[in-house]
Structure 1
Amino acid sequence: MYLNNMQSYAFGSILILFLCFAACEKGILNGPLNPYGERVDLMTSESALFGPDANNGLKITVDQINDSRCPENATCIRAGEAAVKITIYDAKENSATFDLYFGGKSNFKPDTANFSINQSKFKAILYDVNPHPKTGELQDKAKAKITLVNN
């Protein structure tokens, strides 16, 4: 039995749509995985995946970066600090949200937050926020250098 042209197109279209839906894996841990401990640079609204595989990994998203550090070539009364708000998700969409700070009281040492997701312990470490603010320039391209460590 042969199909006419219209039936062939309809059948082909349905087959292609079915294959597209079947190929799409719904989940938040799709993409390249970084090993725990590797440092990544993320701008606001960017994410990175960490872990051994998509089923046992974590996704870190930078929700917001507020940089109040003293700009280069400026005289300030206080040094200021950069605050980075992050959210971390596992494959089951459990999450943890917190702020990490760089500069100010931390004396430019990495800030660390310990947290648990799905009965496993992890650590988020903020190493830096770049570029450092400059007088007269907008800071819309700030990137947080951050990593996740499995404890």
Structure 2
Amino acid sequence: MKKTILFALIWVAAVACDQKQDAAPQPELKATSVPYRQQTTIAASGSDLKVDLREVNDSRCPKDVVCIQMGSAKIKFNVSDSKNATDVEVEFKGDSKADFQTFTLSGQNYVLKVSELQPYPVSTQTPKIEEYKVNVTIEKK
């Protein structure tokens, strides 16, 4: 009897391991660097969107200073397709779970995610607005 139960458990385990997953793997999105006032094309799940970095209000804690709070940067983009355009604002805190904004363009919902904002502030220097570059990904929702 013990051999029968053991054989049945092994058979069930073998059948369970052999099953294929039906879910197709999601392609990994690559971040695109968007420089200030230089319109950049980003592939967004089959659509090409043009992204223009309009404003950066950077209040992050400089890397050579000890701060009570990390601070954040407010980033404003203009996103357009072949027909319409919209402004998208993201508050970047350096937290991958919160640094995104949903928006609608031509009846389609998208998510714009910011993964990096360069240059990082230093207390002795104030970067010019033209020096900013933002790493962005956009995907259909």
1:57 CA drift (Å)? 2.3
Contact 2:63 2:122 in 1 (8 A): yes
**1:62, 1:38 → 2: CA distance?**
18
2:86 alignment partner, SS class: strand
Greater Rg by CA: 2
Provide Cα deviations, 1:79-114, integer angstroms capped at 9, x if missing partner. Answer: 21111100111101x1111211111xxx63351111
**1:116, 1:37 → 2: CA distance?**
19
Q: 1:126 to 1:133 in 2, by over 3 A?
A: same
2:53 aligns with one of 56, 62, 80:
62
Unaligned runs of 5+ in 1: 1-35
Contact 1:69 1:79 in 2 (8 A): yes
2:101 aligns with one of 72, 94, 113:
113
Letter in 2 for 1:133: P
Contact 1:38 1:148 in 2 (8 A): no
> What is the root-mean-square deviation in Å for CA atoms of aligned residues?
2.2
1:38 CA drift (Å)? 2.5
What residue is the counterpart of 1:146 in the other structure? 136
**1:65, 1:85 → 2: CA distance?**
7
Identity %: 21
**1:65, 1:43 → 2: CA distance?**
11
Provide Cα deviations, 1:22-76, integer angstroms capped at 9, x if missing partner. Answer: xxxxxxxxxxxxxx93311122212211238xxx521111101111111111122
**2:106, 2:65 → 1: CA distance?**
46
**1:138, 1:146 → 2: CA distance?**
23
Q: Work out whether 1:90 is the aligned partner of 2:81.
A: yes
2:117 aligns with one of 124, 129, 136:
129
Q: Work out whether 1:101 is the aligned partner of 2:88.
A: no
Number of matched pairs: 110
Q: Normalising by structure 1, what TM-score?
A: 0.64
Contact 2:51 2:79 in 1 (8 A): yes
**1:38, 1:121 → 2: CA distance?**
19
